[in-house]
Amino acid sequence: MLTVGLTGGIGSGKSAVSAELARLGATVIDADAIAREVVEPGTEGLAEVVAEFGEDVLTPEGRLDRARLGEIVFGDARSLERLNAIVHPRVGERSAELMARARAEGVQVVVYDVPLLVENDLGSLYDVVVVVDTPDEVRVERVAADRGMPRDQVWARIRAQADRDSRLAAADLVVDNAGTREELVARVGELWSTLVARERRGWSVA
């Protein structure tokens, strides 16, 4: 089984690459989805977040208000560190469970979709690190258009993550997503062929 760490900053198109890899046959473990799961209502994770940041981070229905929490932690390194200390260990435990299950089931390629792979120096955990690369200015415009997020908030999130050069330095393979959706689909198809070939030949760059 080939393990792939897939990363890219906000607005890079990492989720689109992940979805296309899943369509082509990869088993995808989504760190963002797990991060949401571990702070669902009734979990210890949500209780710890509320204890740390206050009741204001909850919606009237008792769910985590991600927009409000984002306003608190992005741009404030200490607050972000406190949040990560709550969420990341839980994400790691659940991810390990899913990875073990995939291995037991004989899956060919497992893609671990993790936004903070570079920030947390996780590259050594995977056989291959794939970075989705998009210029910062393009990312800002995409997020502003797709999510309606103010541009200054997008820039704050970009600055809270690893910079473009750091990501590229950590990459074994790079997917350029500065172009159209059609171009991205073609590039992901090429990526998938490369990953399958590595798995079949037993190649590892770890």
Q: What is the CATH number of the domain that holds 173?
A: 3.40.50.300
In this predicted structure, what is the pLDDT of residue 54?
A: 94
Query: Domain total for the chain?
Result: 1
Q: What's the pLDDT at 204? A: 46
Q: Is residue 195 part of a domain?
A: yes
59: containing domain: 2-201
Q: Which tokens go with 92?
A: 């790691």
Summarize pLDDT for 18-66 with one digit per residue, the tens: 999 999 999 999 988 999 999 999 999 999 999 999 999 999 999 999 9
Let me know if residue 28 belongs to a domain. Answer: yes
* Confidence band, pLDDT 50/70/90 cuts, at residue 203: low
Alpha helices by DSSP H, the chain: 14-24, 31-37, 44-53, 66-73, 77-104, 136-147, 151-160, 164-170, 181-201
Can you tell me the distance from the alpha carbon of 132 to that of 80, in angstroms, rounded to the nearest whole number? 23
Residue type (1 letter), 167: R
Tell whether 196 is covered by a domain. Answer: yes
Q: Does the structure show a pLDDT above 60 at 205? A: no
Cβ atoms within 10 Å, residue 149: 18
Distances (CA, A) of 12 to 15, 17, 104, 180, 206: 8, 10, 32, 12, 24
> Greatest CA span in the chain, whole angstroms?
53
Q: What is the average pLDDT score of the chain?
A: 92
Rounded to a whole number of angstroms, the CA Rg of the chain reads 17
pLDDT at position 195 over 80: yes
C-alpha distances in Å from residue 65, one per residue of 51, 60, 68, 168, 197 = 14, 9, 5, 32, 43
Is residue 29 within 8 A of residue 103, CB to CB? The reply is no
- Specify the pTM: 0.77
Question: Does 206 fall in a domain?
Answer: no
pLDDT at 151 over 90: yes
95 domain-assigned: yes
User: For the residues 179-199, what does the mean pLDDT come to?
Assistant: 95
Structure tokens at 201: 């030949």
Whether 160 is covered by a domain: the verdict is yes
